């Protein structure tokens, strides 16, 4: 027999359902249309269906906000959007629900299609982001609603959200992670942040990277998958803890469900409300790890120094804090002066890596003429060594020089040359795959050489006679999942002993124990080298393809031409 309380609760529930049904009937309903896309250049040969939801409130006069979902329509999203747009809990939003691609078999009766879901969704890198941004969404904007309204999508990243379940969830995260200039709100359900195609690395990368302007909602259950690729429940908690550690705007809903969409569908309306809250105010950027906070100044962004070059390299700083760099293909050295960028020297024979010496001269690797030359402040050029095509160099306070010779052909050995202050150049090491950037520790007791075709920076102990001992693969760098190596290039140390390395992923900042503490991406995704400029050597300059940028930081560089300094021991 039911109690009076239970009967009353039943009446309340029934009344609520009736009221909800009545209100739902009054809510303007959007239109959903189905389409097919088969002309991808990024995923050639693929065919996929996609659906477009357009709310009734959308007039076509101004661009709408955007929500993209992988694996098609999930979470009863069109009905949820109808309700939330009507209540004002999310902006007028167009939904694009897209399936993964598949490459149809030549003979469907005897051959299997190639299913691209894991390749597109689980893989790291910007491939799927480019597919959405450069291929699919422009096609969506060619469509019209049944009553002729043109589809216009906002390009403001604060107006763009993306979501999905399982592999579709890590895909959504990867799109926003790679392209925060296009998407900044992420809904992730039962996310596959495990060891299928590198997703297990995200909790570590989130902790090390300079934070990005993203807002993330995570969902998972205690009975999610625990299989060969990893433990989904543990992986999602690791993601949440890393996002909190790095200062991201993150929320979550944990349940006890398995690897399905039941719980995600239940919490989807509230998750959308949170993702879109105060949407016109934008998304805050976290402070990042304590290690990042030690070196970066809050609110200080990259500033463009110059652009329009073919390829920039060799940033070097003199005693006055003035920075010089090379445009290698154009054989021109530039100086960053008080009035901007000016030409310092022309006809450099493809001047590449360079560094100032204790005598105030600028030492340069001239690749075309296979020389090492020194240029005095008045422009006089003197040959220091010849007979090999170097890449980068460092000049110590003693006047001794070390130069890398990569082995440009791929078949000749990679070498490290030693040029004493007075004497002939000689090879002091061979065996790296592609010796590239080179620098010394602040106390000038250790030589560091980056091996571009690996994920290592080698450490050597410098002996009194200039020879090298105790060679070790010492600094362990991160590398993109889409690359076979780190692409490690130019390097510098700061006065606290950190090693700053230019890599494919940005500047990787390492402690003296050989561990990457921080990763700082460049504004255009490119960086070949760096130096510390300005009167206090606390402005970071980077060469980045056709551009040069600078950024004020909290720490100062240790210049090899200065008197050596002994930094504090690392925290082990």
| Chain segment 69-95, per-residue pLDDT in tens | 999 999 999 999 999 999 999 999 999
Give the Cα separation of 173 and 561 in Å (integer): 45
Stated pTM of the model? 0.92
Nearest to 215 by CA among 284, 166, 280, 168: 284
- The number of C-alpha atoms within 13 Å of 527 and in the hemisphere containing its C-beta is 29
Q: Is 489 annotated as a binding residue?
A: yes
∠ CA 525-530-532, nearest 5°, is 130
With bands split at pLDDT 50, 70 and 90, how would you rate the model's confidence at 23? low
* Predicted pLDDT of residue 12: 37
Contacts of 436 (CB under 8 A, 6+ apart): 391, 392, 404, 406, 449, 450, 451, 452, 488, 489, 490
Catalytic-labelled residue, pool 82, 220, 429, 489? 489
Question: Does the active-site annotation cover 465?
Answer: no
Q: Supply 27's token pair.
A: 């809510």
340: burial class by Cβ within 10 Å (0-12, 13-18, 19+)? Answer: exposed
Nearest to 58 by CA among 137, 153, 156: 153
Q: What average pLDDT does the structure give for the chain?
A: 94
Q: Is the pLDDT of residue 481 over 50?
A: yes
CA distances from 23 to 16, 29, 30, 38, 538 (A): 10, 12, 15, 40, 61
**Strand, coil or helix: 243:** helix
Contacts of 249 (CB under 8 A, 6+ apart): 214, 215, 216, 283, 284, 286
Question: What percentage of the chain reaches a pLDDT higher than 90?
Answer: 92
> What average pLDDT does range 357-374 have in this prediction?
97
**Strand, coil or helix: 504:** coil
**Strand, coil or helix: 369:** coil
Contacts of 302 (CB under 8 A, 6+ apart): 522, 523, 549, 550, 551
The owner of tokens 């992670």 is 177
Give the Cα separation of 217 and 207 in Å (integer): 17
For the segment 377-436, what is each residue's pLDDT rounded down to a tens digit?
999 999 999 999 999 999 999 999 999 999 998 888 999 999 999 889 999 999 999 999
CA distances from 84 to 91, 164, 189, 224, 269 (A): 8, 19, 20, 29, 8
∠ CA 435-437-439, nearest 5°, is 120
Give the Cα separation of 508 and 567 in Å (integer): 19
* Predicted pLDDT of residue 24: 64
Q: Supply 9's token pair.
A: 């609760």
Give me the domains of the chain, ranges plus CATH numbers: 31-276 (3.40.50.1820), 290-558 (2.120.10.30)
Give the Cα separation of 254 and 396 in Å (integer): 56
CA distances from 530 to 5, 416, 419, 570 (A): 72, 20, 23, 23
Give the Cα separation of 448 and 437 in Å (integer): 8
> What per-residue string of b and e applies to 481-508 under the rule 16 or more CB within 10 Å gives b?
eeeebbbbbbbbbbbbbbbbbbbbbbbb
For the segment 537-547, what is each residue's pLDDT rounded down to a tens digit?
999 999 999 99
Nearest to 547 by CA among 304, 264, 184: 304
Q: Is the pLDDT of residue 1 over 50?
A: no
Backbone angles phi, psi at 134, to 5 degrees: -95, -20
Q: Is the pLDDT of residue 13 over 80?
A: no
φ/ψ region of 153 (left if φ > 0, alpha if ψ in -120 to 50, else beta) reads: beta
For the segment 193-212, what is each residue's pLDDT rounded down to a tens digit?
999 999 999 999 999 999 99
Q: Is the pLDDT of residue 4 over 70?
A: no
What is the number of other CB atoms lying within 10 angstroms of the CB of residue 291?
Answer: 16
Helices (H), 456-519: none
- DSSP codes joined into one string, 249-297: EEEEEEES--SSSHHHHHHHHHHHHHHHTTGGG--------HHHHHHBP
Give the Cα separation of 491 and 447 in Å (integer): 11
What is the number of other CB atoms lying within 10 angstroms of the CB of residue 156?
Answer: 15
Q: Is the pLDDT of residue 16 over 50?
A: no
The answer to whether the CB of 449 falls within 8 A of the CB of 433 is no
How far does Cα 180 stand from its chain's mean position? 10
With bands split at pLDDT 50, 70 and 90, how would you rate the model's confidence at 2? very low
> What per-residue string of b and e applies to 374-411 under the rule 16 or more CB within 10 Å gives b?
bbeeeeebeebbeeebbbbbbbbebebbbbbbbbeeee
For the segment 109-121, what is each residue's pLDDT rounded down to a tens digit?
999 999 999 999 9
* DSSP code for 310: S
* Predicted pLDDT of residue 438: 98
Q: Is 436 annotated as a binding residue?
A: yes
* Predicted pLDDT of residue 572: 80
For the segment 154-207, what is each residue's pLDDT rounded down to a tens digit?
999 999 999 999 999 999 999 999 999 999 999 999 999 999 999 999 999 999
Nearest to 532 by CA among 312, 315, 301: 315
């Amino acid at each position: 027999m039911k109690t009076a309380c239970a009967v009353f609760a039943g009446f309340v529930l029934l009344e609520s359902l009736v009221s909800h049904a009545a209100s739902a009937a009054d809510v303007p309903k959007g239109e959903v249309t189905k389409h097919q896309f088969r002309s991808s250049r990024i995923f050639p040969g693929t065919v996929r269906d996609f659906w477009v939801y357009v709310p009734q409130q959308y007039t076509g006069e101004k661009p709408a906000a955007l929500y993209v979902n992988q694996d098609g329509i999930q979470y009863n999203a069109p009905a949820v959007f109808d309700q939330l747009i009507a209540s004002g809990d999310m902006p007028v939003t167009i939904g694009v629900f897209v399936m993964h691609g598949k490459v149809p078999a030549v003979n469907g009766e005897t051959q299997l299609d190639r299913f691209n879901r894991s390749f597109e969704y689980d893989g790291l890198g910007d491939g799927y982001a480019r597919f959405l941004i450069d291929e699919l969404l422009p096609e969506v904007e060619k469509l019209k609603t049944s009553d002729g309204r043109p589809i216009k999508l906002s390009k403001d990243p604060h107006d763009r959200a993306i979501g999905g379940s399982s592999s579709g969830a890590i895909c959504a995260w990867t799109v926003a992670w790679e392209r925060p200039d296009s998407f900044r709100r992420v809904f992730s359900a039962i996310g596959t942040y495990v060891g299928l195609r590198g997703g297990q690395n995200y909790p570590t990368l989130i902790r090390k990277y300079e934070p990005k302007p993203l807002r993330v909602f995570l969902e998972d259950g205690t009975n999610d998958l625990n299989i060969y690729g990893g433990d989904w429940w543990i992986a999602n908690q690791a993601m949440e803890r890393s996002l909190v550690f790095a200062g991201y705007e993150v929320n979550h809903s944990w349940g006890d469900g398995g690897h399905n969409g039941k719980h995600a569908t239940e919490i989807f309306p509230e998750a959308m409300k949170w993702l879109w809250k105060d949407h016109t105010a934008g998304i805050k950027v976290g402070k990042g790890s304590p290690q990042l906070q030690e070196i970066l100044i809050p609110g200080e962004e990259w500033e463009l120094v110059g652009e329009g070059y073919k390829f920039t390299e060799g940033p070097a700083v003199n005693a006055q804090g003035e920075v010089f760099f090379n445009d290698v293909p154009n054989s021109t050295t530039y100086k960053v002066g008080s009035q901007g960028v000016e030409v310092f020297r022309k006809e450099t024979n493809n001047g590449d890596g360079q560094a100032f010496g204790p005598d105030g001269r600028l030492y340069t690797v001239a690749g075309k003429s296979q020389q090492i030359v020194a240029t005095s402040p008045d422009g006089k050029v003197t040959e220091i060594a010849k007979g090999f095509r170097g890449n980068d160099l460092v000049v110590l306070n003693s006047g001794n020089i070390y130069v890398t010779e990569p082995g440009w052909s791929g078949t000749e050995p990679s070498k490290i040359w030693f040029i004493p202050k007075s004497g002939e150049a000689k090879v002091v090491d061979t065996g790296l795959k592609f010796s590239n950037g080179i620098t010394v520790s602040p106390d000038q007791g250790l030589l560091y050489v980056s091996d571009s075709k690996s994920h290592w920076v080698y450490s050597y102990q410098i002996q009194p006679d200039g020879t090298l001992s105790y060679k070790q693969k010492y600094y362990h760098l991160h590398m993109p999942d889409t690359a076979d190596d780190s692409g490690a290039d130019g390097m510098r140390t700061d006065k606290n002993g950190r090693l700053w390395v230019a890599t494919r992923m940005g500047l990787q900042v390492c402690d003296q124990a050989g561990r990457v503490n921080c990763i700082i991406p460049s504004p255009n995704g490119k960086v070949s080298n760096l130096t510390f400029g300005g009167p206090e050597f606390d402005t970071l300059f980077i060469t980045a393809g056709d551009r040069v940028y600078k950024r004020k930081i909290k720490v100062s560089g240790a210049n090899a031409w200065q008197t050596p300094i002994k930094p504090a021991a690392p925290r082990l």
